[in-house]
């Protein structure tokens, strides 16, 4: 499998889902591709981990709601065995008093459900429609490569065009513009009263970042998330979160491509100012005329390439960017199904959110910012075994918990506080499922720094960069890198650091591969 | 109130201040880079005459000097500047310009190669933070060494004669474009020779006064005259050299994009070498290279010897530019200026300047013809 200076048509650094998608698109075009994954398992943010050889855990993310329909179709993923165990999952917002809310995303049902409980029925419909409209306006911009402007003057014109002329509808555009700069708390306070809805919306609008609900731009994050939603809605892949990566690996290998695990890139080989291959940290050199990197843009350009190959301004801007991750992961193996008070078994299989009110989300965010552990952590819980029994021994379950607003650097250090953190999280779960602790057999916790060391997620930031309007489209990650090509000839970016950003969409990988193929068809390398 | 207020400015004195002050008959001082420096030391006519027909000595200590050294100094500098400096040999120096990512000039100066891995950069403006930012990723160290030395400029057609009299033959025989450290009177002195009989001496701080005295003494026969900044400025305008901070602003300090300049707007040829795969501003300059600049910095002359002021450059009724440096040249009885003018207006002549003319208490306006002067070779 290995050998010095093997020649490939392209090398992809990083076996995250975006890197694999890029490789599969290139393979589909007849390219011989090598994927280099530093860790033992491919998948990046979307991968499965084994616990005690019996449980297949969603190691990092535990739901898919944005895997692009175009990627699924282009790569014929279904034909290669990729399927959802469940899709269109309801969202369940847990209430401390047992008056839980279950939202299906279908306007009529939700309105009826909420009205029956005296919880903002009509107001929620109005809110959801506004969100829908704004997302509908943004969605086309996210589902294609960004328009890129090379000079700052051209950038000004482009922004005006992107903001005002490319819109798919005037009303949607106005709805979007009136919301884009707001904080989610402003929006919620204008339109909703039920604390539980406010908590849910604030949770969704800030998940994955260090933003607090009162921060400007968080309304945009909610719209953004919604705009990237796939037709299948919130879904769980059959075979666990690693299923997508496994399907892609099989696909790539079927295309004469190779995927190497435990192959950490130590630097990108340069010929003059052109990328021509990759050196692994074990000294092996592999060469290819095209190198794509799914690693964070800063890692790729400053560490793997080196500042010297960039203009000083760009190197400077890249070095200033800070990674802001604030999500921790707790995976539990259970030998039975805990009883969530007031939830039907069907509802337990949904996306369960514990965020009782917007103010609690705000409080967690502020304490995380100060380096403190949240007292009452806000979280999202998924029990994939409700839909896919094969993930655990018969009768056993997996509980996957995303704890939001967890500081990267905690007061006292993570080694000292890890246990306390897990206890706090489990205590919160037990408030709604009092017998949960009785079933816990084993578990693992991944703090933001753990996510970085174990799965290469820089700074614990799942999205490889901010998700506000000025970090997206033709400005992500930097104007001169937004078109997936870099100033280093032959080197492309294909990770979540590029448009349209984080989440398991596959779109950055797809657009990067398309950029490579297009540059080739033009007869040169961008 | 006592103590230093944070906004209080401190004007420093150069190591040569007492020597220069002793030559002053005018008590005319100006500020340059935070230093007090002579404006005129004698009448303008006397100084200019000496500069063009005899020899002059000036204190140029306020210039910034940077030491850039390290195994990768050349790579680092080659990414910094627009020209290819890999061909710059040890003991030589040349003009360099450096841009930001938008192809706008951040600084200009002269780069001397002191050794295989050591360089000196001379600039009019402070650029240390930019050098530091450019050092990231290279094995190189950049530091401001301005305080370690003092600067003396010897210029004029009789400069060589002064050197001969001073017993500095090795300096006299130096070729233009060379930068070398010489032992003068037992003192190590860095010497640069420019085109057109201009020598720069950079002795260590403590050696500056003895060197100045020795040169003043040796130049007595030849009519060596100490001159101030105003006359040096006139010579610069006469040569058509724009100065950052006066004729345009550096890209890092300008607030308005209208006040920065690209190498393509500068007079003469700024060397931009696209053969280098990576340097700051390359992508932006590449785009600019194919289109002609909308405005140019030019040297103007107004043939009039009356007491007048002007700034606005016109063509017909319309303003097409602005004069940013102006000086009266007693040798020819004309005003010389550096101006930024719309490129389209430069082509066919017919430029005027809007002047205010004074005679005792009377003031009136006149439009006087101005012409673009061809430039002498860059120094």
Query: By CB neighbour count within 10 A (0-12 exposed, 13-18 middle, 19+ buried), where does A394 fall?
Result: exposed
Report d(CA B194, CA B126) in Å as an integer. Answer: 22
User: Do B156 and B220 share a domain, yes or no?
Assistant: yes
User: Which member of A272, A312, A480 has the closest CB to residue B277?
Assistant: A272
User: Do B202 and B179 share a domain, yes or no?
Assistant: yes
Is residue B30 assigned to a domain?
yes
Find out whether B123 and B96 touch, Cβ atoms under 8 Å: no
- Closest C-alpha to A315, from A300, A302, A303: A302
Contact B138 A272 (CB under 8 A): no
Q: What is the DSSP letter of B106?
A: E
Helix/strand/coil for A407: coil
Q: Domain containing B158 — which CATH number? A: 3.30.1360.120
**pLDDT tens-digit readout, B218-271:** 999 999 999 999 999 999 999 999 999 899 999 988 887 788 999 999 987 778
User: Which member of A151, A272, A312 has the closest CB to residue B134?
Assistant: A312
Residue-level pLDDT at B377: 53
Closest chain A C-alpha to B133 CA, distance in angstroms: 7
Contact A311 B102 (CB under 8 A): no
Q: Domain containing B331 — which CATH number? A: 2.40.30.110
**pLDDT tens-digit readout, A397-424:** 999 999 999 999 999 999 999 999 999 9
Check pLDDT > 70 for residue A168: no
User: Do B312 and B206 share a domain, yes or no?
Assistant: no
User: Do B324 and B357 share a domain, yes or no?
Assistant: yes
Is residue B1 assigned to a domain?
no
User: Do B316 and B355 share a domain, yes or no?
Assistant: yes
Contact with chain A for residue B75, Cβ under 8 A? yes
**Chain A residues in contact with B283 (beta carbon < 8 A):** 150, 311, 480, 487
**pLDDT tens-digit readout, A278-306:** 999 999 999 999 999 999 999 999 999 99
Check pLDDT > 90 for residue B328: yes
- Give, to the nearest 10 degrees, the angle between helix B128-135 and helix B73-80: 120
Is residue B101 assigned to a domain?
yes
b/e burial code for range B181-217 (CB count within 10 A of at least 16 → b): eeebeebebbbbbbeebbbbbbbeeebbbebbebbbe
Tell me the average pLDDT of chain A: 89
Q: Which of B81, B86, B101 to mutate to test the interface with A (most CBs of A within 10 A)?
A: B101
Closest chain A C-alpha to B359 CA, distance in angstroms: 48
Task: Give me the residues of A, 162-181, that contact B with CB < 8 A.
Answer: none
Domain boundary among B227, B261, B286: B227
Phi/psi of residue B296, each to 5°? -140, 150
- Under the banding of pLDDT at 50, 70 and 90, the label for residue A473 is confident
Is residue B341 assigned to a domain?
yes
**Chain A residues in contact with B101 (beta carbon < 8 A):** 311-314, 480
Contact with chain B for residue A260, Cβ under 8 A? no
Contact with chain B for residue A154, Cβ under 8 A? no
User: Do B131 and B173 share a domain, yes or no?
Assistant: no
* ipTM greater than 0.85: no
Task: Give me the residues of B, 183-202, that contact A with CB < 8 A.
Answer: none
Check pLDDT > 50 for residue A4: no
Residue-level pLDDT at A423: 94
Contact with chain A for residue B134, Cβ under 8 A? yes
User: Do B163 and B207 share a domain, yes or no?
Assistant: yes
Report how far apart, in Å, the C-alpha atoms of A409 and of each of A60, A371, A449, B287 are. 19, 6, 8, 45
Contact A150 B79 (CB under 8 A): no
Q: Extract the tokens encoding B296.
A: 């140019």
- List, in order, residues 6 or more apart from B160 with CB less than 8 Å away: B172, B197
User: Which member of A272, A307, A480 has the closest CB to residue B137?
Assistant: A307
Query: By CB neighbour count within 10 A (0-12 exposed, 13-18 middle, 19+ buried), where does A143 fall?
Result: middle
- Under the banding of pLDDT at 50, 70 and 90, the label for residue A163 is low
Domain boundary among B80, B109, B139: B139
User: Do B35 and B16 share a domain, yes or no?
Assistant: yes
Helix/strand/coil for A513: helix
Residue-level pLDDT at B7: 63
As a whole number, mean pLDDT of residues B145-162 equals 95
Is residue B3 assigned to a domain?
no
**Chain A residues in contact with B131 (beta carbon < 8 A):** none
As a whole number, mean pLDDT of residues A81-106 equals 91
Is residue B235 assigned to a domain?
no
Residue-level pLDDT at A2: 44
Closest chain B C-alpha to A313 CA, distance in angstroms: 6
User: Do B69 and B114 share a domain, yes or no?
Assistant: yes
A274 to chain B: closest CA residue: B277
Residue-level pLDDT at B170: 84
- List, in order, residues 6 or more apart from A271 with CB less than 8 Å away: none
User: Do B134 and B181 share a domain, yes or no?
Assistant: no
The residue segments making up the domain with residue B167 are: 12-61+149-227
Phi/psi of residue A119, each to 5°? -120, 70
User: Do B212 and B335 share a domain, yes or no?
Assistant: no
User: Do B43 and B158 share a domain, yes or no?
Assistant: yes
**Chain B residues in contact with A302 (beta carbon < 8 A):** 137
- List, in order, residues 6 or more apart from A53 with CB less than 8 Å away: none
Check pLDDT > 60 for residue A47: yes
Contact with chain A for residue B288, Cβ under 8 A? no
User: Total structural domains in chain B?
Assistant: 3
Closest chain B C-alpha to A520 CA, distance in angstroms: 20
B130 to chain A: closest CA residue: A312
As a whole number, mean pLDDT of residues B182-211 equals 94
Q: Which residue reads 């992961």 in tokens?
A: A329
Residue-level pLDDT at B262: 92
Contact B137 A480 (CB under 8 A): no
User: Which member of A150, A309, A316 has the closest CB to residue B278?
Assistant: A309
Find out whether A339 and A433 touch, Cβ atoms under 8 Å: yes
**pLDDT tens-digit readout, A192-209:** 999 999 999 999 999 888
Q: For the whole prediction, is pTM greater than 0.90?
A: no
Q: Domain containing B74 — which CATH number? A: 3.30.70.1400
Closest chain A C-alpha to B152 CA, distance in angstroms: 34
User: Which member of B80, B100, B283 has the closest CB to residue A487?
Assistant: B283
Check pLDDT > 80 for residue B101: yes
Is residue B268 assigned to a domain?
no
As a whole number, mean pLDDT of residues A21-46 equals 92
Contact A308 B75 (CB under 8 A): yes
Domain boundary among B227, B246, B266: B227
Report d(CA A437, CA B72) in Å as an integer. Answer: 60
Is residue B264 assigned to a domain?
no
């Amino acid at each position: 499998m290995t050998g010095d200076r093997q020649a490939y048509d392209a090398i992809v650094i990083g076996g995250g889902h975006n890197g694999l998608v890029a490789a599969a698109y290139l393979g589909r075009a007849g390219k011989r591709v090598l994927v280099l994954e530093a860790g033992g398992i491919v998948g990046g943010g979307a991968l499965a981990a084994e616990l005690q050889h019996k449980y297949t855990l969603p190691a990092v993310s535990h739901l898919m709601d944005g895997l692009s329909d175009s990627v699924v179709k282009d790569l014929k993923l279904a034909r290669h065995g990729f399927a959802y165990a469940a899709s269109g999952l309801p969202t369940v917002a847990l209430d401390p008093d047992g008056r839980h809310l279950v939202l299906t995303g279908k306007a009529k049902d939700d309105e009826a459900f909420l009205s029956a409980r005296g919880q903002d029925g009509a107001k929620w419909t109005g809110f959801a429609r506004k969100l829908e409209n704004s997302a509908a306006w943004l969605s086309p911009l996210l589902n294609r490569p960004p328009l890129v402007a090379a000079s700052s003057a051209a950038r000004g014109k482009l922004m005006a065009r992107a903001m005002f002329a490319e819109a798919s509808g005037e009303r949607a555009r106005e709805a979007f513009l009136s919301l884009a700069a707001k904080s989610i708390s402003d929006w919620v306070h204008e339109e909703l009263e039920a604390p539980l809805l406010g908590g849910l919306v604030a949770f969704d609008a800030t998940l994955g970042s260090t933003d607090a609900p009162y921060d400007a731009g968080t309304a945009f994050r909610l719209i953004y998330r919604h705009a990237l939603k796939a037709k299948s809605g919130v879904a769980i892949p059959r075979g666990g979160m690693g299923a997508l990566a496994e399907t892609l690996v099989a696909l790539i290998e079927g295309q004469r491509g190779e995927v190497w695990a435990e192959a950490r890139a130590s630097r990108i080989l340069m010929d003059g100012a052109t990328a021509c291959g990759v050196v692994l940290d074990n000294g092996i050199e592999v060469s290819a005329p095209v190198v794509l990197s799914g690693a964070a843009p800063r890692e790729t350009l400053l560490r793997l390439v080196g500042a010297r190959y960039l203009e000083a301004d760009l190197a400077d801007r890249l070095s200033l960017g800070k990674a802001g991750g604030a999500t921790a992961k707790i995976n539990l193996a259970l030998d039975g199904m805990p009883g969530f008070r007031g939830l039907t078994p069907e509802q337990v299989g949904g996306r369960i959110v514990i965020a009782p009110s917007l103010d609690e989300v705000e409080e967690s965010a502020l304490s995380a910012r100060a380096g403190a552990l949240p007292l009452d952590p806000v979280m999202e819980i998924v029990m994939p075994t409700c839909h896919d029994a094969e993930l655990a021994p018969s009768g056993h379950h997996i509980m996957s918990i995303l704890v939001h607003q967890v500081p990267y650097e905690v007061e006292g250090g993570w080694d000292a506080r890890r246990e306390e953190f897990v206890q706090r999280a489990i205590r919160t779960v037990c408030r709604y499922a009092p017998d949960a602790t009785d079933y816990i057999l084993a578990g693992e916790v991944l703090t933001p720094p753990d996510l970085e060391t174990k799965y290469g997620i820089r700074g614990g930031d799942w999205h490889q960069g901010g998700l506000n309007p000025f970090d997206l489209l033709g400005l992500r990650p930097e104007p001169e890198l937004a078109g997936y090509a870099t100033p280093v000839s032959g080197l492309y970016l294909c990770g979540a650091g590029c448009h349209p950003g984080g989440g398991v969409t596959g779109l950055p990988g797809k657009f990067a591969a398309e950029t490579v193929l297009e540059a080739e068809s033009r007869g040169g390398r961008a | 109130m006592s103590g230093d207020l944070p906004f209080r400015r401190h004007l420093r004195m150069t190591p040569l201040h007492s020597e220069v002050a002793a030559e002053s008959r005018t008590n005319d001082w100006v500020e340059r880079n935070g230093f007090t420096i002579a404006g005129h030391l004698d009448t303008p006519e006397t100084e200019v005459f000496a500069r063009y027909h005899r020899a002059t000595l000036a204190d140029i200590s306020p210039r910034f000097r940077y030491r850039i050294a390290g195994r990768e100094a050349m790579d680092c500098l080659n990414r910094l500047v627009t020209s290819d400096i890999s061909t710059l040999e040890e003991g030589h120096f040349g003009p360099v310009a450096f841009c930001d990512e938008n192809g706008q000039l951040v600084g200009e100066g002269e780069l001397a190669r002191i050794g295989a891995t050591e360089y000196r950069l001379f600039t009019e403006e402070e650029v240390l933070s930019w050098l530091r930012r450019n050092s990231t990723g290279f094995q190189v160290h950049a530091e401001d060494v301005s305080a370690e030395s003092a600067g003396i400029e010897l210029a004029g057609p009789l400069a060589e004669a002064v050197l001969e009299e001073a017993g500095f033959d090795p300096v006299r025989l130096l070729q233009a474009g060379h930068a070398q450290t010489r032992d003068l009177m037992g003192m190590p002195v860095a010497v640069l020779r420019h085109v057109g009989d201009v020598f720069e001496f950079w002795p260590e701080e403590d050696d500056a006064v003895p060197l100045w005295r020795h040169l003043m003494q040796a130049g007595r026969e030849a009519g060596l005259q100490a001159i101030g900044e105003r006359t040096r400025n006139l010579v610069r305008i006469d040569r058509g050299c724009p100065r950052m901070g006066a004729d345009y602003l550096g890209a890092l300090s300008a607030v308005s994009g209208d006040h920065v300049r690209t190498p393509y707007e500068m007079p003469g040829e700024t060397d931009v070498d696209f053969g280098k795969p990576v340097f700051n501003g390359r992508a932006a300059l590449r785009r600019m290279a194919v289109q002609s600049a909308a405005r140019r910095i030019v040297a103007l002359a107004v043939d009039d010897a009356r007491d007048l002021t002007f700034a606005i450059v016109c063509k017909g009724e319309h303003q097409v530019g602005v004069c940013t440096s102006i000086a009266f040249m007693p040798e020819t009885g004309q005003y010389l200026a550096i101006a930024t003018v719309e490129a389209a207006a430069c082509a066919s002549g017919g430029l005027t300047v809007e002047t205010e003319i004074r005679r005792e208490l009377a003031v009136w306006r006149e439009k006087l013809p101005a012409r673009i002067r061809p430039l002498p070779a860059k120094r």
